[in-house]
Amino acid sequence: MPTSVKIFDTTLRDGTQGEGISLSVEDKIKIARKLDELGVHYIEGGWPGSNSKDIEFFERVRDMKFTNAKITAFGSTRRKDSIAADDINLNRLVESGAQVATIFGKSWDFHVHTAIQTTLEENLAMIYDSVLYLKSCGLEVIYDAEHFFDGYKNNPEYALQTISKAQDAGADWIVLCDTNGGSLPSEVTTIVSAVKLHVSTPVGIHAHNDCELGVANSLAAVQAGAGQVQGTINGYGERCGNANLSSIIPNLQLKLGYHVISEEQLKSLTPVSRYISEIANMHMPINQPYVGNAAFAHKGGIHVSAILKDASTYEHTKPELVGNKQRVLVSELAGQSNVLVKAQELNLDFNKEHQKTKEVIEKIKDLEHQGYQFEGADATLELLLREAFEGLEEIFTLESFKMLVEKSANQSVVSEAIVKVKVHGETIYTAAEGNGPVNALDNALRKALIQYYPDIKNIHLSDYKVRVLDEKGATAGKVRVLMETTDFNTTWNTLGVSSNIIEASWYALVDSLRYALIGRQRVEPANKEQNERLGLINH
Amino acid sequence: MPTSVKIFDTTLRDGTQGEGISLSVEDKIKIARKLDELGVHYIEGGWPGSNSKDIEFFERVRDMKFTNAKITAFGSTRRKDSIAADDINLNRLVESGAQVATIFGKSWDFHVHTAIQTTLEENLAMIYDSVLYLKSCGLEVIYDAEHFFDGYKNNPEYALQTISKAQDAGADWIVLCDTNGGSLPSEVTTIVSAVKLHVSTPVGIHAHNDCELGVANSLAAVQAGAGQVQGTINGYGERCGNANLSSIIPNLQLKLGYHVISEEQLKSLTPVSRYISEIANMHMPINQPYVGNAAFAHKGGIHVSAILKDASTYEHTKPELVGNKQRVLVSELAGQSNVLVKAQELNLDFNKEHQKTKEVIEKIKDLEHQGYQFEGADATLELLLREAFEGLEEIFTLESFKMLVEKSANQSVVSEAIVKVKVHGETIYTAAEGNGPVNALDNALRKALIQYYPDIKNIHLSDYKVRVLDEKGATAGKVRVLMETTDFNTTWNTLGVSSNIIEASWYALVDSLRYALIGRQRVEPANKEQNERLGLINH
């Protein structure tokens, strides 16, 4: 039984089959770099036989240095009734310059008849010839036995024959694929054990998540002797996704004691998973195990009381081990413990018996009732708490804003904003254009403030999300705007709610600037001196 | 070993601990009705000891009739060093009027010392007294052994003693909870098997998803003899969620052969899961197993070719069994097969060799490159294909629109739109207000069109989503607007992409009306006569 497990990442190939995922060559290169840092052992870069984008990827990575990972190219066995050495797609693998070729072949007799429409014997020859040819070209060869579990359940003798052919031809790995994702852990245990008795070549597992068992099936295979796990970061992939490496890696290493990656690399799991979700432009589910924003978040009042005594009462592992962190959420169910924790973080004198404390809790409840959700907007909550306890100076007051969008037939759209604000007793009236209405408003407000707050030029909005709260009403419903702002060192999130998207954006925008200009002084005292220098304090 | 499994749904109690979930009493009642239709056996409605909303829920359901489900109220064992009959929270369970009480107690010695800070003996008495008191009040009692697996791993003798106490006091069920979600299927198998040898009371499982093993752990427990599974629809719940009943029910019934609910009820699984996500105002992950919109969606060209031959080549089960359906996605990776399937649905003469076909595929690729994603916008794709093949009459042409949002200090915000469009050769110039800018634009456009298309009054936008495509640029980035429109019989989705949110909304809005007024005639011939009557054809 192996004590270490090799990770084969296919985010760049099988992952891009996921609905809504589309990666440019540049995206793929960025992701490959991150995967290498994370310490995966194989990076499947694409299918050079299927599209020109993937051919370009292999050209670009050919001269790049990777510390931990080998690059592998994906393809299929040769076409039926042809010669491997003449097969254009097999030759694309060779030409790709990848060190490792991963090819899939058919294990399931039903598929041989139905999908590729050939004989069982020809399919065996296709596997043998293709592996042999790639080995003769000096490549490491991983043989992916497509639909192996379905094939084994239907015709175990034939399924075993197909992988014996790959072994006979010299394959370095035989990877058993649960392509349709319909197998159960108990079946995986039985079938992997049978395969281990039948072949001596190292065995791997490639699972899908159609029964929400992708992670469990991967673990079951490893416990039955598999030494390689194929999957994708965040479980991206067709239909319900591939087996999720962001959960499999910590499960193998922290729960089952296998050596997979280094402790330091494991600490990069959360940032790498989030980085890849950003590059893939996929929403990161907050409840994603290990790496999600809510994975170690506590909402229930009882749980919060207990974790204040000892975090292991309600945490199955230390979030720091995977680069994540504990969060305490504010909500109506949580009683006052959670707001208390947040107030403690801010060093506020938050005595539950004080009138001020009761008032701010009432205010939070009232805002939540209107659709505010502070769980995703720490900066807005912090401003609210500090304003209630300490008072915060106004950086400006609004007199009015106007926002205009104009479009004529066949002309490009124009957005303008006009703002009138009072700063340090002076009225400033200015206007700006933008790519869109919120951008125009952002530009106009910055233009009005920058002479008083020059620091503002280092601050940029980095994300903008809109949620319709009352879906029944659609464009007449309330919207919640969540903004993420960054100064390149830290990021903070602010929130606005209104039935008008422009007004909601305005609230979030104002809080993002308030937090940057006055809210952070207390939390990051290192900035205090700089802020004093810039005249941001006691103006 | 049981051949049927009882489902205990805690969406309304543990599910509401999930980040971002907040249900009103009305919401809870709607969800309870649906859960009863689905055929779950227990519905845990809330914790009457913790908040007044839950007390109100039990008051309201007291006189309602449920066909399949028993309503249960949740609480904890009595407080330490007190008398069960005097315990206010236990009495709230009795007063709730629920037939079934579910109470949790401590199994883990560490928690007894750390969280409730009492002796191991007193904890045993708390369990025994509480179950005994509730039984004496005539209730069915489900004993939830909190942290059972962690407790067993730490001190198996004590963990077993706690459940023996519940059994001695007459508990009807003993449910083993993996409260922190850190256990593995192999551990669950071992521990449930040990428990089955130790107690004769029926055993259940309550798993969490912190290791992405909630479903697998639930199945492992059933395979080791558990007869009840606790979980939530869509896996809602604290941190990474509870075990997901939307996956567990079909896995138990379709894969493992247990009797859980009827075949007809199983067919309501997808609509019920989606309904509950809507009531909970939670985004339904498209890749959710069994019930997600992408669960049976095919993107890869090879897969699509094969499923056209036989769906079981790439589907682990029939989507209809769980009330879902197969979808074929359009994307750059898919080759032409997928567009072909869509064209076949529309009865278009989509010969791959035709110039028209090549042109429309090029156009789709180009739009995808700009950020369009037709996967979620069938109506926009349909309009595009039909326009290319058949030509579609214009319902109007835009001359110009202006959109104005104005806000003064302490005044409510005002949104106005002015549109100038040409309909049937006539120029119409009109304006309207709205709750927000897109609503104002929608109102103005409808006002301009309604005299020509009176049918428009039956059409309403039912959802509106915004996604920033280039997150780096934030408010200067591109946005994709997805609109859902309904005429109360059907819904359709349209799409617009622009760097300007108002322009993107405009495109989606125009397509939603075009589809309603001209796009659907072919697909729903039943409407043709009505449309002719309304003068919508050959005007």
Residues B259 and B330 in one domain: no
For B92-104, b/e burial (b = at least 16 CB within 10 A) is bbbebebebbbbb
* B427 in reach of chain A (CB within 8 A): no
Residue B97 sits in the same domain as residue B190? yes
Burial class (CB in 10 A: 0-12, 13-18, 19+), A440: buried
pLDDT of B348: 81
Those residues whose C-beta lies under 8 Å from the C-beta of residue B345, and which sit 6 or more positions away, are none
Whether B539 shows a pLDDT value over 70: the answer reads no
Q: What is the identity of the amino acid at B243?
A: A
Q: Say whether both B149 and B95 belong to one domain.
A: yes
CA distance readout (Å), A363 to A332, A401, B524: 11, 27, 51
- Is pLDDT larger for residue A157 or for residue B475? A157
Of A403-407, B259-263, B410-414, minimum mean pLDDT range: B410-414
Note whether residue A387 is domain-resident.
Answer: no
Q: Which residues of B touch A233 (CB under 8 A)?
A: none
Residue A398 with chain B: CB contacts under 8 Å: 407, 409
Q: Which two tokens stand for residue A526?
A: 């290192």
pLDDT value, residue A331: 52
The rounded distance, in Å, linking the Cα atoms of A497 and A478 is: 7
Report, as an integer, the average pLDDT of B113-121: 92
For residue B397, the cross-strand partners are B422
**pLDDT: which is higher, B32 or B459:** B32
Q: Within 13 Å, how many C-alpha atoms sit on residue A440's CB side?
A: 28
For residue B356, pLDDT beyond 70: yes
Domain contains B100: yes
Q: Please, what is the Cα angle at A403 between B509 and B505, to 5 degrees?
A: 15
Contact map slice: B 136-175 vs A, CB within 8 A = none
Interface test with A, best of B24, B255, B276, B287 (most A CBs within 10 A): B287
Cα–Cα distance, A361 to B252 (Å, whole number) = 45
Q: Is residue A331 domain-shared with residue A448, that is, in the same domain? A: no
Long-range contacts of B136-141 (CB under 8 A, 24+ apart): B137/B94, B139/B93, B139/B94, B139/B98, B139/B99, B139/B100, B139/B101, B140/B70, B140/B72, B140/B99, B140/B100, B140/B101, B140/B172, B141/B100, B141/B101, B141/B102, B141/B103, B141/B170, B141/B171, B141/B172, B141/B173
Q: What is the CATH number of the domain that holds A424?
A: 3.30.160.740
A407:B503 CB<8 A: yes
The pairing of beta strand B173-178 with beta strand B203-207: parallel
| In contact, B35 and B233? CB cutoff 8 Å | yes
The shortest CB-CB distance from A476 to any of B238, B439, B502 is to B439
Q: Specify whether A404 is located in the same domain as A520.
A: no
For residue range B489-499, what is the model confidence (pLDDT) as tens digits? 677 889 899 88
Test A287 with B209 for CB contact under 8 angstroms. yes
Report if residue A286 sits inside a domain: no
Instruction: Calculate mean pLDDT across residues B208-234.
Output: 98
pLDDT at site B520: 54
Q: Do A226 and A83 reside in the same domain of the chain?
A: yes
B353: which residues sit within 8 A by CB, 6+ positions away? none
B301 in a structural domain:
yes
Instruction: Give residues 258 to 297 of A whose Cβ lies within 8 Å of B.
Output: 278, 281, 283, 285-290, 292-297
Q: How many Å apart are CA B404 and CA A104, to the nearest integer?
A: 58
Residue A526 is predicted with a pLDDT of 34
Establish if A325 touches chain B: CB-CB under 8 angstroms: no
CA nearest neighbour of A159 among A102, A120, A201: A120
Residues of B in contact with A186 (CB under 8 A): 223
Interface of A with B in 394-413 (CB under 8 A): 397-409, 413
What is the domain-level CATH number for residue A118?
3.20.20.70
Q: How high is the pLDDT of residue B523? A: 36
**B162 and B49 assigned to the same domain:** yes
Interface with chain B: mutation pick from A22, A190, A218, A239, highest number of B CBs within 10 Å? A239
Domain span including residue B115 = 6-279
Q: Does A83 touch chain B (CB under 8 A)?
A: no
| Mutation for B interface: A405, A408, A422, most B CBs within 10 A | A405
- Chain A contacts of B406, Cβ < 8 Å? 400-403
pLDDT above 90: residue B302: no
Q: In the predicted model, is pLDDT for residue B198 greater than 70? A: yes
Among B residues 86-115, those touching chain A with beta carbons less than 8 Å apart:
110-111, 114-115
Instruction: Give yes or no: residues B275 and B211 share one domain.
Output: yes
CB contact under 8 A, A472 and B479: no
Residues B239 and B353 reside in one and the same domain: no
Amino acid A80: pLDDT: 95
Structure tokens at B188: 């669950």
> What's the mean pLDDT when you consider all of chain B?
87
Backbone φ and ψ of B66, nearest 5°: -115, 140
Which residues in chain B have their CB less than 8 angstroms from residue A16's CB? 333
One-letter identity of residue A372? Y
A446 and A461 in a single domain? The answer is no
Q: Indicate whether B434 belongs to any domain.
A: yes
In a domain, A145, yes or no: yes
Residues 6+ apart with CB under 8 A from B25: B53, B56, B57, B60
User: Residue A501 sits in a domain of what CATH number?
Assistant: 3.30.160.340
Model confidence band, residue B521 (pLDDT cutoffs 50, 70, 90): very low
* In-domain check, residue B505: no
What is the spatial distance between Cα A318 and Cα A253, in angstroms, rounded to a whole number?
Answer: 13
Domain final residue, candidates B225, B249, B279: B279
pLDDT in tens, B222-239: 999 999 999 999 999 999
Judged by average pLDDT, the poorest of A148-162, A179-193, B41-55, B59-73 is B41-55
Contact A501 B501 (CB under 8 A): yes
Q: What is the mean pLDDT of each run of 10 residues along chain A (539 residues)?
A: 92 90 86 97 93 89 95 97 96 96 97 92 98 98 98 98 98 98 98 98 98 98 98 97 98 97 96 85 86 85 74 90 83 55 77 79 78 76 87 89 92 93 92 91 93 88 73 59 79 87 93 83 38 31
Least confident of A73-87, A316-330, B97-111, B454-468: B454-468
Q: Are A219 and A183 spatial neighbours (Cβ–Cβ below 8 Å)? A: no
How do strand B173-178 and strand B70-76 relate by DSSP bridges? Answer: unpaired
Residue B66 in contact with residue B93, Cβ under 8 Å?
Answer: no
Contacts of A511 (CB under 8 A, 6+ apart): A379, A380, A383, A494, A495, A496
Residue A519 in any domain: the answer is yes
**Which of A251, A279, A307 finishes a domain?**
A279
Inspect the interface and report whether the beta carbons of B468 and A464 lie closer than 8 Å. Answer: yes
ipTM: 0.74
What's B160's DSSP letter?
Answer: H
| B499 neighbourhood in chain A, CB within 8 Å | 435-436
Query: How far is the alpha carbon of A68 from chain B, nearest alpha carbon, in Å?
Result: 26
Is the minimum CB–CB distance between A211 and chain B shorter than 8 Å? yes
What pLDDT sits at residue A185? Answer: 98
User: How many residues does this entry show for chain A?
Assistant: 539
Check pLDDT > 70 for residue B472: no
Q: Which residues pair with B496 in a beta bridge?
A: B481
Q: What is the pLDDT of residue A2?
A: 74
Is B136 in the same domain as B246? yes
DSSP per position, B355-412: HHHHHHHHHHHHHHHHT--GGG-HHHHHHHHHHHHH----S-EEEEEEEEEEEETTS-
Q: Tally the domains of chain B.
A: 3
Same domain, A68 and A93: yes
What size, in residues, is chain B? Answer: 539
Say if the Cβ atoms of A506 and B407 lie within 8 Å: yes
